[in-house]
Amino acid sequence: MNEDLALRASYEEGTPDHWMEQAEDVLAVFEFGRSPLDSSDPRHVPVALTQLDSPKRLEVWRSEGPIKTGSWDQLRFAQGEQLTMGHIALNLEKTGDMRHSSRLAYDILQSYLQQSPHQWPLKIWNYIPGINRGSGDKELYRQFCLGRAEAVLIAPGDRPPLPAATGIGTPADEAALQVYFLAGALPGLDVENPRQVSAWRYPRQYGPKSPLFSRATIMRMNGSSQFLISGTASIVGHQTHHEDQVANQLSESLRNVHSLLDEGHRLMGNTSAQLDSNGILKVYIRDPADFELIKNTLDTEAPAEIPRIYLQGDICRESLLTEIDGIVSCHRQGQNPDLR
Ligand code: 3EB
């Protein structure tokens, strides 16, 4: 892997303790299939999504150290030279309903970031128990969006930089709402997808408050640039495409990812991002029975070099069966060194 990258993300075998003991540059170790309430160290982030492929792996984030760890209210963090990872797990039985818990998680996140040297969230992952439970505006995902919007107050007409995000459902019996993030000293460059309506402009039919995220951010640091891709599904405009067709949904999601990468290239001019061995992809699948079909489709349509993991997770709209997110690195082209 390219050692110049600000964030080195990879899938690795072994135990979380092994990875945390082994190196001074470990910012986070994500362990799948475990409640976020089981965290043993600020760098250890259990995620309640079952891995569908094998062997069992961890997602390891490394960044320039030394890494300082600590906690702030109910948030735990690991802070390196350039980047901070932070995570919050709120026990829904203790904090109350989803709207309240989401608002609390984002209040804590924002008060932490305000006093951090790495004030800008670049990407936020939201893992929401029973995301599709409840109907109409009572659906837990919509309640989650409501709480987030109450915490992240944006004045009408204001367009602050928004982090990229993923919002995925964990089992309904999981106790904790989990929010984790990557933050840096400067905001990312927001990228929207020309094929999709921006999420913050979704029409009312999708809920009382729009989701607040950008389709991707590009983090630029010491000459290396990386693309943080939001959870990307089979949505064109604002509508779900290919209802009940999981393979076609994955293909559409990949078209959306490529469209985002093209848009990033257009904005950056001299760099472009590729799905290659310096990146990672996470593939979320609602129904584990779809795993083989999704895997075969991705193997056919995405380069074999990019590491990927398959997780069982519910998607924020009942009509969506799969979603992809990822981190990919950008490469310079052309010969204007000043534009680096
Ligand atoms: C979508 O495009 C799919 O609420 O944070 C993707 C990424 C989705 C992030 C979020 C939701 C979120 O609308 C859902």
Strand 164-170 relative to strand 120-129, pairing: parallel
Q: Which band of pLDDT confidence, cut at 50, 70 and 90, is reported for residue 334?
A: low
- The token pair that represents 324 in the structure block: 């992809």
Q: Please determine, for residue 23, whether its predicted confidence score (pLDDT) is greater than 80.
A: no
Domain ranges of the chain: 8-339
152 pLDDT above the threshold of 60: yes
For 210-243, what is each residue's pLDDT tens digit? 999 999 999 999 789 999 999 999 999 999 999 9
Q: Which CATH superfamily is domain 8-339 in?
A: RutC-like (3.30.1330.40)
Does position 20 have pLDDT exceeding 50, yes or no?
Answer: yes
Q: Reply yes or no: is the peptide bond before residue 194 cis, omega within 30 of 0.
A: no
pLDDT of residue 97: 97
Q: How far is the CA of 22 from the centre of ligand 1 (A)?
A: 35
**Top-confidence range, 20-24, 187-191, 271-275:** 187-191
Distance CA 3, CA 278 (A): 10
- Encode pLDDT of 291-331 as tens digits: 999 999 999 999 999 999 999 999 999 999 999 999 999 98
Q: Is the pLDDT of residue 94 over 60?
A: yes
Q: Which of 213, 214, 321, 324 to mutate to test the pocket of ligand 1 (most atoms within 8 A of CB)?
A: 213
* Tokens 């640039």 found at: 225
**Ligand 1: does its nearest atom lie under 6 Å from the Cβ of 235?**
yes
pLDDT exceeds 50 at position 336: no
Tokens of 336: 């204007």
Phi, psi of 30, deg, nearest 5: -95, 125
Percentage of the chain modeled with pLDDT above 70: 98
Alpha carbon distances (Å) from 340 to 72, 136, 198, 251, 270: 36, 47, 28, 32, 8
In eight-state DSSP terms, residue 301 is H
N-term to C-term CA, the chain: 20
**233 CA to middle of ligand 1, Å?**
8
User: What atom of ligand 1 comes closest to residue 124's alpha carbon?
Assistant: 5
Mean pLDDT to the nearest integer, 166-191: 98
Cβ–ligand 1 distance for 165 under 6 Å, the answer yes
Quote the DSSP letter at residue 80: -
- pLDDT, average across residues 16-42: 95
Distance CA 216, CA 262 (A): 12
